[in-house]
Structure 1
């Protein structure tokens, strides 16, 4: 019995996903440990630099929990976007098999990054809880919706740069350059309400600000971020994703034959 198109794609994504795990972690003896080490080291460095200042600025809020809910969403966005751009080159030989399409490589990479950072997030949240920091999952549905939309947004950015990068290879260099300033303007290290309101209209164009602040709202009782919106994150994520899909649809044949 012939398989449906969806079943074929599902099998291709599963095979690529397992290949990504082996490629990513198989060559290191402590491969899985490195996935935890990067965000954990990042957290410790920022806690050391800003911990005392932020404790005085936000005395009623756990700064490690605040920071974790900024760092992990940013890493999800950054890693999915960056790794999507290089997905074609890394799997070029596999496109000789008809069932494997460039978009399958992005789906498998996005799935792997999402699962890695969900595991890292849970582990580090448990560690800070055991260290005596207080948090409470106020709105699990909001947290799941926020992260799901962030993954869709990241795939859309990665898909767009992957397609444009195949037409104009120089543009692949721009994405890492664009991601660096985003780290400093996405409320990773500071809450939105510490910024003067006249600048909010500029910051709130950035969907990552909405994702970060909504994540904090979901796990920190009493933390309410005025100005952010799940609706805006939903509209911007789907818009970017459909732009990426439209570009991909027009260029898929050219990418397979190049």
Structure 2
């Protein structure tokens, strides 16, 4: 029985996903548990360093809940985008098999990063809840949709990065540097409502801000997130994704040949 193109691609992405997780974490003594421990330890360190300071500046908001809903979406975006640049080189030998395409490697890595950070999010949010921090997941659908569109946005940026990085090798070093300022302009360490209104409209151009603030609004009762829009997040994410796919389609043959 002949399988459809979608079924073939789904099988390829599943195989690439398993290969990716084995390659990245299978060699460690803690095995796949390290997939969760690595980002979790990073977040715990940041919570420890900045927790006291931020508790003083935002007394009405649980800082661990606030920062987790900023850092984890940011890490999902940057990890998918950065890992997409070298996705072709890391899987070059597999492209001898006709069903395997470069775009499949991005989807596999995006699924892995999403799975890792969703697991970390659930574990750490449960931990801070047990430690007495107050929150309530009162808008679960909004939370899931914000993360979904953020992942779509990251895949679009990652696809663009992959094509450019394969075409112009020097950009492999330059493109990740471009993402660094996003840490400071994506409301990771401060709430959107703390920015003066005259400048807020410029910050809101960044789709990550919308994903972060919607995440916080979904779990913190009474959180002020005026100005953010699920519609804008969806539109900008899908637009960047379509641009990325269109750019990829123009260069797919060249990337496979090279």
Q: Same fold (TM over 0.5)?
A: yes
Alignment-derived partner of residue 199 in structure 1: 199
Within-5 A mapping of 1:1-258:
1-258=1-258
Deviations 1:227-248 (A, max 9, x none): 1111111111001000000001
Distance across 2 between alignment mates of 1:18 and 1:44: 27
Query: Shift in Å at residue 203 of structure 1?
Result: 1.0
User: Match of 2:209, SS?
Assistant: helix
Matched residues, number: 258
Query: Shift in Å at residue 49 of structure 1?
Result: 3.4
Distance across 2 between alignment mates of 1:233 and 1:65: 22
Distance across 1 between alignment mates of 2:133 and 2:125: 9
| Contact 2:193-2:224 at 8 Å conserved across structures | no
User: Match of 1:186, SS?
Assistant: coil
Q: TM-score scaled by structure 1?
A: 0.96
Deviations 1:21-40 (A, max 9, x none): 11011111124343333433
Query: Shift in Å at residue 121 of structure 1?
Result: 0.4
Query: Shift in Å at residue 180 of structure 1?
Result: 1.1
CA RMSD of aligned residues (A): 1.3
Query: Shift in Å at residue 84 of structure 1?
Result: 1.1
Query: Shift in Å at residue 209 of structure 1?
Result: 0.8
Taking a change above 3 Å as real, the CA distance of residues 31 and 186 of structure 1, as seen in their structure-2 partners, is farther
Deviations 1:58-81 (A, max 9, x none): 222111000000010001001110
| Contact 1:35-1:120 at 8 Å conserved across structures | no
Distance across 1 between alignment mates of 2:170 and 2:64: 38
| Contact 1:43-1:64 at 8 Å conserved across structures | no
User: Match of 1:252, SS?
Assistant: helix
Unpaired stretches in structure 2, ≥5 consecutive residues? none
| Contact 1:152-1:238 at 8 Å conserved across structures | yes
Distance across 2 between alignment mates of 1:237 and 1:162: 17
Distance across 2 between alignment mates of 1:115 and 1:41: 17
Distance across 1 between alignment mates of 2:44 and 2:111: 27
Unpaired stretches in structure 1, ≥5 consecutive residues? none
Q: TM-score scaled by structure 2?
A: 0.96
Deviations 1:161-184 (A, max 9, x none): 101111111122222101111111
Taking a change above 3 Å as real, the CA distance of residues 134 and 4 of structure 1, as seen in their structure-2 partners, is same
| Contact 1:85-1:161 at 8 Å conserved across structures | yes
